[in-house]
Amino acid sequence: MPASSKNVPRHIAIIMDGNGRWAKGRGLPRIKGHEAGAQAVRECVEGCGELKVEYLTLYAFSAENWQRPKTEVIALMRLLEKFLREKTPELIEKNVRLQAIGRLTDLPASSQQQLHKTIEQTAGNTGLTLILALSYGGRLEIIDGIKSLLRAIELGHIDRAMIDVEMFSKHLYTRYYPDPDLLIRTSGEMRLSNFLLWQTSYTEMYITPKLWPDFTKKDLVAAVEEFGRRQRRYGVVL
């Protein structure tokens, strides 16, 4: 792939937006858009593996998505289970390790079981780490982080004076992963949609008008190449 390896982000996060609009534009049910989006996930995972990206976080199902029609939510959970069940052998073959963040206990029992099964089966893989954000909300994560800190203080594990940015980060869902270097959002929308609010403080953003099912490896490479042309200053004058 043409992107220079020295400019490849270590961690890419993606807001996969536009499945519903993709389906509507073709006169199809919304679930068909989600099914088409699953193929874009496959392309993106393959592309990140080829580019030697270390971490890829996909905003797969937000905490707000539970408010969608019940039939759509059920269909999405079934699609998640089907994707995990069918793609596990491919993840193992491609040396991809699966992880998940969010309030995972909110998922149906069958979805939790399949998720944990795939996580266990790919645990020994050493290539790309694919992180699915499921029943995830950035504000909920921060609240859960505060509760975790308070419990640690009450148990005497830490003192209040020890709390700083690094300490707080260790109480978030993402404590085992680096912050994203690049955030990609499809469908042209200019908002974070409650995704990784703490972690994206200094993340480079790349917005494309393409709907998620139309996002390909070439689009991924274009985003990475644009990232490579930017100068990241972190508030410092260089």
Distance CA 212, CA 216 (A): 9
- The single-letter DSSP state of residue 48 is H
**Annotated catalytic residue, options 65, 106, 144, 194:** 65
Phi/psi for 4 (5° steps) reads -70, 135
Write the CB contacts of 100 (distance below 8 Å, at least 6 apart in sequence): 115, 119, 131, 132, 133, 134
150's enclosing H/E stretch is: helix 138-154
Measured distance CA(94)–CA(31) in Å, rounded: 27
Phi then psi dihedrals of residue 82, to 5 deg: -65, -45
Q: Is residue 19 annotated as part of the catalytic site, yes or no?
A: no
194 is catalytic: no
Q: Which of 17, 19, 181, 219 is catalytic?
A: 17
Q: From edge to edge, which strands make up the β-sheet containing 129-136?
A: 97-101, 129-136, 55-62, 11-15, 182-185, 204-207
Residue of 165, 178, 170, 133 whose CA lies nearest to 148:
170
Task: Please name the residue that has the structure tokens 């998620």.
Answer: 212
Query: Which DSSP string do the residues of 102-136 spell out, in sequence order?
Result: S-GGGS-HHHHHHHHHHHHHTTT--S-EEEEEEEE
Extended strands (E) in 63-202: 97-101, 129-136, 182-185
Residue matched to tokens 């993402």: 174
Which residues participate in catalysis according to the annotation? Answer: 17, 65
